[in-house]
A and B are shown apart, each in its own frame.
Chain A
Amino acid sequence: METLLFWLLAVVALIAAGSMIIQRNPVHSALFLIMTLLSLAGLFLLLSAYFLAVIQIIVYAGAIMVLFLFVIMLLDIRRVEAAPSRVKLQKSLGILLGVVFLLETLLVLRSGVITDGAAAAATPLPEDFGTAVALGRVLFTSYFFPLQLAAVLLFVALIGAIVLSKRRW
């Protein structure tokens, strides 16, 4: 059951991602991205990260992507990229490098460096792993300072976004 779900969600995620980068219309791209995000939320559930899955849907898919859509609509973009790219070789080199990168990653995984270490340190999963309670417990104790910083960051971003988008000072 789990395996089936995994493969299903994985394939959907990949196809959606691939489609996203291919689409001409930015609205379509956004919608495909939302699909990817939702698949990922499902994968989070499979990995016992319940809280995060929900947050993913609410924040990422629900807020950030909506923001994206707002901006896309606001800008009234015509079909861009009709003219051929002024930089030759960017595309091919980019894809080439991407593939190289993928191979590297697979190589690392193959060597078993990661999973080997893990097998040794396996401990039984606590009851409330991945729930809000567990997260909260860690967040407000060990990660208290980064939490404050994140708050400041959001504040700064807020101000920044307002300032940058003003039409007139």
Chain B
Amino acid sequence: MLHNLWLIPFFPLLGSLINGLWRRHLSETSVAAIACSSVALSFLCSLISFVALFSLPPAGRSVEVVVYQWVTSGEFQAAMGFLLDPLSAIMILVVTGVGLLIHVYSIGYMHDDEGFQRYFAYLNLFVFSMLILVLGNNFLLMFLGWEGVGLCSYLLIGFWFTRQAAVEAGKKAFIVNRVGDFGFILGVFLIFAAFGSLQFGEVFGRAAQQLVPGGAVVTAITLLLFLGATGKSAQIPLYVWLPDAMEGPTPVSALIHAATMVTAGVYMVARCSVLYLMAPAAMVVVLVIGLLTALMAASIALVQTDIKRILAYSTISQLGYMFVACGVGAFTAGIFHLVTHAFFKALLFLGAGSVMHALDGEQDIRRMGGLKDHLPITYMTFLIASLAIAGVFPLAGFFSKDEILWAALTEGNFLVWLIAAITAVMTSFYMFRLVFLVFHRQPSARDGVSHHPHEAPSAMRVPLMILAGFSVVAGFIGIPIIEGANLIRPYLEPVFTRYPLPPETFGHTLHRPGLELVMLLISLALAIGGILLAMYLYLIDTTLPERLSARFHRAYRVLLGKFYVDELYGRCVVEPVRRASDWLWAEVDVGIVDGTVNQAGAFVRQDSAWLSRIQSGFVRNYALSIFLGAVVVIGYLIVR
């Protein structure tokens, strides 16, 4: 299997091509079968590869398979090659596993949608691109996957393209991502300029010798790459597309905007850990941005009323956590959180989809309530996911979030921990606000809830349950404190220590079990505290939220308006660009370009009008001109 790594991205590509090209001839069942089986096969291959990797010694778990030489142009070579090591093995399992569950879920969710076939073609294409991104062994291939997921994101956000809002959201996602990609590709150029190669092995292997630690080049490279990550993973300043991306179908939000595409930035930073560890300034930037984003997004989520938007801001916030981990050098913790987050965030989105499906597309949580009894499975799984994300023992989120908080305290400093902790409280608060408002609270007449909710079909229920199962057990791969119980860290560590680092880079985690236990309990307390606060505000003293928002109405409005960032961008960036484009269109395109072409045409027309007078129609004139020509030629010959 290890030599046939190419099969892993191949299956979804094949599925996408078949569904895409023959979509008018295939029935819904065939399309679903093709799409799901292709991802299932890919998952199977990933599983086999994952297991096969264990047969290699920990230090040697890095398999590169080059399929063919893609580019050979002078000194620049890039291969279509795949790299399997613990990091990419985990990523492909997450991508194909969660992807498979979401494909199955989509069969139920997108049933009877007239774009059913197109949807699955795009979804398969997305899985293909994401797999290329995480499996590639060089920056060019990674960039290919990077762009591919961006494209699929655009296609899927704007899937219902007859809706203006969806179209706008798709464009916004693509354009904002483009800004990030610009930074990414500049980073790649710099890498090539510095190393003459884009292959991971060569770049990371030679980084310690060729680059000055903390110097301008490596800092520039890492910052530029991170700019791409802020776009793809929705951090400040390029996060604005993610909330709008909720216009797309909910399974898309689950897969792309929770579990996989947005994690590409984290993956990239982890993959380039060597470079980041050599650029402390960039690490600080990563840390600060991750922290600020986590805090800001969580605060916005406190007051939002659209179920999907709350989850979107939650995603942004959790991604911030992952970057905090990477920023302090705890890449393992970041990836651990990436994995657990994939499970419970996907589950949350799918659960939201189930709720919306039950209520015929209602998304405003103020109009929901009391669904606990009507949608039992959805409620149970949603509750599990919420507990996980809040970080309640023994669910998955508890372990991964605690890793990050511990790393923040020990590798970072107290302030970092404090902000992260505050964000954790906010996280559990807004999640349980959501749970209580949607499932528990008995709706009053004035909320206008008048639906007859029904539980989701089995195609949608089963993935929910599977994901809930993972949300429960996934945390156990990273048990802290107990010596030797943390499985994921020794698994991933070789990836980050594989390449030589200059001596003065980061050291590693202290082992102080006492302090760690205390911090553990504090994290748990924070989580439960948030839940209790939400319970008080939304189940017990239900008028309190309104009174609070009236009392602090200015702060409330800022939060509700998402800090007015979109408006700021609109005024400072979008409007000037639009006006410049209009000016360019009027002056340059119409005036100069069109003008020149028209002028040429007019010129030709005028001249030909004048010249056509030679064609007088009189034969004798023609004879005269022939004779004239003859005379001239003879004269010329004579003169010579």
Would you give the shortest CB distance from B533 to chain A, in whole angstroms?
Answer: 105
When the two chains form their complex, are residues B620 and A108 in contact, meaning their CB atoms are under 8 A apart?
Answer: no
Question: Chain A, 100-130, contact with B by CB distance < 8 Å: what is the 0/1 string?
Answer: 1100100110000000000000000000000
In the complex the two chains form, what is the Cα distance from A87 to B622 in whole Å?
12
In the complex the two chains form, what is the Cα distance from A107 to B621 in whole Å?
27
Which one, A57-65, A90-98, A131-139, A151-159, is touching chain B?
A90-98
In the complex the two chains form, what is the Cα distance from A101 to B618 in whole Å?
23
B609 within 8 A of A: no
A104 cross-chain contacts in B, Cβ below 8 A: 631, 634-635, 638
Q: What is the number of residues of chain B that contact chain A, defined by CB distance less than 8 Å?
A: 12
A108 cross-chain contacts in B, Cβ below 8 A: 638
A166 within 8 A of B: no
Interface size class of A (residues with CB under 8 A): 10 to 19
Give the residue of B616, B624, B630 whose beta carbon is less than 8 angstroms from that of A93: B624
In the complex the two chains form, what is the Cα distance from A107 to B635 in whole Å?
10
For the residues of B in contact with A, the DSSP-based class is helix
Would you give the shortest CB distance from B619 to chain A, in whole angstroms?
Answer: 10
When the two chains form their complex, are residues B634 and A101 in contact, meaning their CB atoms are under 8 A apart?
Answer: yes
When the two chains form their complex, are residues B616 and A87 in contact, meaning their CB atoms are under 8 A apart?
Answer: yes
Minimum CB distance partner of A101 in chain B? B631
When the two chains form their complex, are residues A97 and B618 in contact, meaning their CB atoms are under 8 A apart?
Answer: no
In the complex the two chains form, what is the Cα distance from A7 to B616 in whole Å?
43
When the two chains form their complex, are residues B620 and A97 in contact, meaning their CB atoms are under 8 A apart?
Answer: no
When the two chains form their complex, are residues A107 and B638 in contact, meaning their CB atoms are under 8 A apart?
Answer: yes
B628 cross-chain contacts in A, Cβ below 8 A: 97
A86 within 8 A of B: yes
Which chain B residues numbered 609 to 640 have a C-beta less than 8 Å away from chain A? 616, 618, 620-621, 624, 627-628, 630-631, 634-635, 638
When the two chains form their complex, are residues A97 and B624 in contact, meaning their CB atoms are under 8 A apart?
Answer: yes
B634 cross-chain contacts in A, Cβ below 8 A: 101, 104
B621 cross-chain contacts in A, Cβ below 8 A: 87, 90
When the two chains form their complex, are residues A97 and B616 in contact, meaning their CB atoms are under 8 A apart?
Answer: no
When the two chains form their complex, are residues A90 and B624 in contact, meaning their CB atoms are under 8 A apart?
Answer: yes
Give the residue of A87, A90, A100 whose beta carbon is less than 8 angstroms from that of B631: A100
When the two chains form their complex, are residues B638 and A97 in contact, meaning their CB atoms are under 8 A apart?
Answer: no
A86 cross-chain contacts in B, Cβ below 8 A: 618
Minimum CB distance partner of A85 in chain B? B620
In the complex the two chains form, what is the Cα distance from A87 to B627 in whole Å?
17
When the two chains form their complex, are residues B620 and A87 in contact, meaning their CB atoms are under 8 A apart?
Answer: yes
Would you give the shortest CB distance from A93 to chain B, in whole angstroms?
Answer: 6
Minimum CB distance partner of A107 in chain B? B638
In the complex the two chains form, what is the Cα distance from A155 to B621 in whole Å?
32
Would you give the shortest CB distance from B576 to chain A, in whole angstroms?
Answer: 65
Minimum CB distance partner of A87 in chain B? B618
Give the residue of A90, A100, A101 whose beta carbon is less than 8 angstroms from that of B620: A90
Minimum CB distance partner of B634 in chain A? A104
In the complex the two chains form, what is the Cα distance from A4 to B616 in whole Å?
48
When the two chains form their complex, are residues B638 and A94 in contact, meaning their CB atoms are under 8 A apart?
Answer: no
Question: Chain A, 56-74, contact with B by CB distance < 8 Å: what is the 0/1 string?
Answer: 0000000000000000000
Minimum CB distance partner of B627 in chain A? A97
Would you give the shortest CB distance from A122 to chain B, in whole angstroms?
Answer: 26
In the complex the two chains form, what is the Cα distance from A87 to B623 in whole Å?
13
Give the residue of B618, B624, B635 whose beta carbon is less than 8 angstroms from that of A94: B624
Minimum CB distance partner of A111 in chain B? B638
B638 cross-chain contacts in A, Cβ below 8 A: 104, 107-108
What is A's interface to B at a CB cutoff of 8 Å? 86-87, 90, 93-94, 97, 100-101, 104, 107-108
What is B's interface to A at a CB cutoff of 8 Å? 616, 618, 620-621, 624, 627-628, 630-631, 634-635, 638
- Per CB-CB distance, the 6 closest pairs between chain A and chain B, nearest first, are A104-B634, A101-B631, A87-B618, A97-B631, A100-B631, A97-B627
Can you name 9 A-B pairs with beta carbons within 8 Å? A86-B618, A87-B616, A87-B618, A90-B618, A93-B624, A100-B635, A101-B630, A104-B635, A107-B638
Apart from A87-B618, A94-B627, A108-B638, what 5 extra A-B contacts exist at CB < 8 Å? A87-B620, A97-B627, A97-B631, A100-B635, A107-B638
